[in-house]
């Protein structure tokens, strides 16, 4: 193993960075944000140049995969140029993005041309009224058109992300799966995580991956799969539909921390060592204090990784355990 490879204190190799390029978003999804959000003042958000510098540092230290997320990454001005700069970094294996899809009609092709290899697109409902209720501001048709645009733009894979909630979209799971299967897309069903006070008790709508799987099994024959994307999802395949993989992200019932290979960076340059813990390090302060030399950043980075927690502590009905919202986290 190269001596530049980032390692944490438990011997886990860190080769995946998820970076939030903005905390802002054109949606206000009920599981992610409160209705009335205050966003970061612009000067507190890293500039694109600062982001580029930090990503280059991570990649030089053996990080192989970068996911750009947010907030909504496509509302950040200059996002395509940032993608081009990152995808050109020597040593990077793949640049990928998570988006709500609202602007993909405009951005799908430029993103693919800028070197983004795969997209995760959030889609929680196929009913326009429900979609609006869940996202509070979103237009379903715009997202569906965006998915169509992405399907022809040249990405290696596209995956749909569904946060499943009882009383809101659990009954749509089979329809969403049909939609994914008919287009040969992957789909991941996610258990809602308790990040930020979204103004309601999450326990009421919580739905386990077990229940989702049972529901799907009534319609499709599922085959367990040993596939692993290096992430927290467990995968199954659908008999007769080899194109589609179904993933389940179950932070409550499936503890995936032992093999965690990732860290997150918020839009203000806080390095989060664990999604479900508050430990963080202020990279922005270092970047601004040392505009031309990377050595102090690297030293601080290596030191802080030694404190990466062994695991998260989510519980199903514990509600808010983490005060930061998902949009500020870089989910
Ligand atoms: N705006 C983009 C989007 O929605 O895809 C990217 C950012 S969003 C925070 C990333 C992913 O986190 C989305 O798939 C969203 O559904 C998921 N997410 C947000 N809040 C969540 C929560 N409390 N629990 C589980 N997943 C959540
Ligand atoms: Fe925006 Fe994504 Fe959060 Fe929804 S999940 S509010 S689209 S950042």
Output phi, psi for 224, to 5 deg: -60, 150
CATH of the domain at 137: 3.20.20.70
| Binding pocket residue ranges, ligand 2, CB within 6 Å | 25, 27-29, 32-33, 70-72, 100, 122, 326-327
Position 224 in a domain: yes
19 lines ligand 1 (CB under 6 A): no
Query: Whole-model pTM?
Result: 0.92
Position 1 in a domain: no
Sign of dihedral through CA atoms 296, 299, 302, 303?
negative
For residue 330, the model assigns a pLDDT of: 57
The predicted model gives 251-259 an average pLDDT of 66
Ligand 1, atom 17, lies closest to the CA of: 331
CA atoms of 76 and 128, how far apart (whole Å)? 26
- pLDDT-based confidence at 193, cuts 50/70/90? confident
Is pLDDT of 317 > 70? no
Residue 223 contacts residue 239 (beta carbons within 8 Å): yes
187 alpha carbon, closest ligand? 1
Q: Strand 116-122's sheet: what is its strand order?
A: 222-224, 234-238, 241-249, 186-191, 157-164, 116-122, 94-99, 65-69, 16-20, 262-265, 270-272, 280-282
Position 71 in a domain: yes
Å from CA of 15 to ligand 1 middle: 22
Å from CA of 331 to ligand 1 middle: 5
Domain extent at residue 12: 6-328
**Rounded alpha-carbon distances, angstroms, from residue 67 to 92, 221, 236, 249:** 11, 32, 23, 17
- pLDDT-based confidence at 224, cuts 50/70/90? confident
For residue 12, the model assigns a pLDDT of: 83
The predicted model gives 120-139 an average pLDDT of 98
Ligand 1, atom 25, lies closest to the CA of: 192
Output phi, psi for 37, to 5 deg: -105, 145
Mean residue pLDDT across the chain = 89
Give the chain's domain count.
Answer: 1
Q: Which of 146, 154, 35 is nearest to 100 (CA)?
A: 146
- Tens digit of each residue's pLDDT (9 = 90 or more) over 28-60: 999 999 989 999 999 999 999 999 999 999 999
Ligand 1, atom 12, lies closest to the CA of: 331
For residue 39, the model assigns a pLDDT of: 95
Pick the atom of ligand 1 nearest to 196's CA: 23
- Tens digit of each residue's pLDDT (9 = 90 or more) over 135-157: 999 999 999 999 999 999 999 99
Lowest mean pLDDT among 48-52, 288-292, 308-312: 308-312
196 lines ligand 1 (CB under 6 A): no
Position 287 in a domain: yes
Pick the atom of ligand 2 nearest to 70's CA: 8
Pick the atom of ligand 2 nearest to 138's CA: 7
The predicted model gives 86-99 an average pLDDT of 98
Q: Count of alpha carbons within 13 Å of 132, Cβ hemisphere only?
A: 4
Pick the atom of ligand 1 nearest to 195's CA: 23
163 alpha carbon, closest ligand? 1
195 alpha carbon, closest ligand? 1
Position 151 in a domain: yes
102 lines ligand 1 (CB under 6 A): no
Mutation choice for ligand 1 from 163, 165, 320, 324, CB with most ligand atoms inside 8 A: 163
Residue 209 contacts residue 248 (beta carbons within 8 Å): yes
Owner of token pair 């813990």: 277
Is pLDDT of 166 > 70? yes
Higher pLDDT, 52 or 233: 52
For residue 28, the model assigns a pLDDT of: 96
For residue 316, the model assigns a pLDDT of: 47
């Amino acid at each position: 193993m190269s001596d530049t490879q980032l390692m944490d204190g438990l011997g886990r190799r860190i080769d995946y960075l998820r970076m939030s390029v903005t905390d802002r978003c054109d949606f206000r999804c009920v599981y992610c944000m409160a209705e009335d959000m205050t966003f970061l003042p612009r000067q507190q958000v890293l500039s694109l140049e600062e982001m580029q510098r930090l990503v280059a540092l991570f990649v030089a230290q053996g990080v192989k995969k970068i996911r750009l997320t947010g907030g909504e990454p496509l509302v950040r001005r200059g996002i395509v140029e940032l993608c081009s700069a990152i995808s050109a970094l020597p040593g990077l294996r793949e640049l990928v993005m998570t988006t709500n899809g609202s602007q993909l009609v405009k951005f799908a092709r430029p993103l693919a041309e800028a070197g983004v290899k795969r997209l995760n697109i959030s889609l929680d409902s196929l009913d326009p009224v429900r979609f609006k209720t869940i996202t509070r501001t979103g237009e379903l048709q715009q997202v569906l058109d965006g998915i169509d645009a992405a399907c022809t733009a040249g990405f290696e894979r596209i995956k749909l992300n569904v946060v499943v909630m009882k009383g809101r979209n659990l009954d749509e799971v089979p329809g969403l799966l049909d939609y994914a299967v008919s287009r040969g897309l992957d789909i991941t069903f996610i258990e809602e995580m308790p990040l930020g006070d979204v103004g309601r008790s999450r326990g009421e709508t919580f739905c386990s991956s077990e229940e989702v799987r049972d529901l799907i099994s009534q319609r499709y024959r599922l085959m367990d799969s040993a596939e692993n994307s290096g992430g927290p999802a467990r995968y199954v395949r659908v008999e007769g539909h080899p194109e589609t993989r179904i993933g389940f992200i179950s932070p409550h019932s499936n503890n995936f921390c032992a093999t965690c290979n990732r860290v997150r960076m918020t839009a203000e340059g806080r390095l989060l060592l664990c999604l479900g813990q508050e430990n963080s390090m202020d990279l922005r302060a270092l970047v601004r204090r040392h505009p031309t030399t990377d050595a102090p950043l690297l030293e601080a980075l290596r030191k802080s990784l030694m404190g990466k927690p062994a695991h998260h502590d989510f519980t199903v009905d514990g509600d808010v355990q983490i005060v930061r919202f998902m949009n500020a986290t870089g989910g």
